[in-house]
Amino acid sequence: MENNYQYIDPDYKYTNKNGVLHNLANIEDEKILLAYESLKVSKRVEELFENPIKIKDSNSLLIIHHYLFQDVYEWAGKVRTVNISKNGKPFFDGERFYFAFQYIDTLIAEYRAIRKTKIHEIAHKLAEILDNVNYLHPFREGNGRTQREFLRLLALEKDLKINLNPPDNKSAYERYMEGTINSDVKILTELILEQIEKNKNEA
């Protein structure tokens, strides 16, 4: 699956001229940075499983991103100041973030109004939230990990467990990628439902 991001960043706000992201460890090799980032963020993800962040509203995305990437990037928890596209498809224009965050707050309010017994409605609304957060893509790096954690924490509010990147199910992550890249809420809804049922059965 292609993963071709493009960034409009002529002033190199986020990277050096070789394309390596500025980072707190001053690593200048991209492969080493990826390994370092993975190690640090994985540890922070484990911590959030032990001590979940309480989702207040869409701004909790910034809190989660800061927590996950605080050891790696100075701009952890800050919205991007460059525009991004992937495979030729642009993400949300950073100059209009305010309106997007407001809309996600509306979706969160709708989600919280759904009764816990309405599993299909819950799954569909979570898929809708995920689709919109992905289109927003508020950060220069780390959007996928942040939005998956955001969704996991929202699901916990309904006493549900979901993992959109389970270590024992590669196809789940592939469908997550397909659903987010193609803005396919149906695929995302089916995946979330499957994860809810899987975790219910293992509880």
pLDDT per residue as tens digits for the range 39-50: 999 999 999 999
Query: How high is the pLDDT of residue 200?
Result: 72
What does the pLDDT read at residue 62? 98
What domains can be seen in the chain, in order of their start residue? Answer: 5-202 (1.10.3290.10)
Question: Alpha-carbon distance 73 to 137, whole Å?
Answer: 17
- Residue 48 CA to residue 68 CA, distance in Å, equals 9
At residue 199, the pLDDT reads 73
pLDDT of residue 162: 94
With cut-offs at 50, 70 and 90, classify the pLDDT of residue 4. confident
How confident is residue 7, by pLDDT bands cut at 50, 70 and 90? Answer: confident
3-state secondary structure of 142: coil
What pLDDT shows up at residue 3? Answer: 58
For the residues 153-179, what does the mean pLDDT come to? 92
Q: What is the mean pLDDT of residues 80-90?
A: 87
pLDDT at 20 over 50: yes
Contact in structure between 94 and 140 (CB atoms under 8 Å)? no
Half-sphere exposure in the Cβ direction for 128 (13 Å, CA): 15
Return the minimum-mean-pLDDT range out of 85-94, 99-108, 125-134. 85-94
The amino acid present at 73, given as its one-letter code, is Y
The pLDDT tens digits for 105-157 are: 999 999 999 999 999 999 999 999 999 999 999 999 999 999 999 999 999 99
**Does pLDDT of 202 surpass 80?**
no
- Predicted pLDDT of residue 203: 54
Is-contact 176 182, C-beta < 8 A? no
pLDDT number for residue 1: 39
Residue with tokens 């819950």: 122
Task: Please give the pLDDT value at position 2.
Answer: 45
**What share of the chain has pLDDT > 90, as a percent?**
80
How far lies 186's CA from each of 8, 99, 158, in Å? 31, 25, 21
Q: Model's pTM, two decimal places?
A: 0.93
Give pLDDT tens digits for 51-82. Answer: 999 999 999 999 999 999 999 999 999 999 99
* pLDDT confidence of residue 201: 66
* Number of Cβ within a 10 Å radius of residue 8: 10
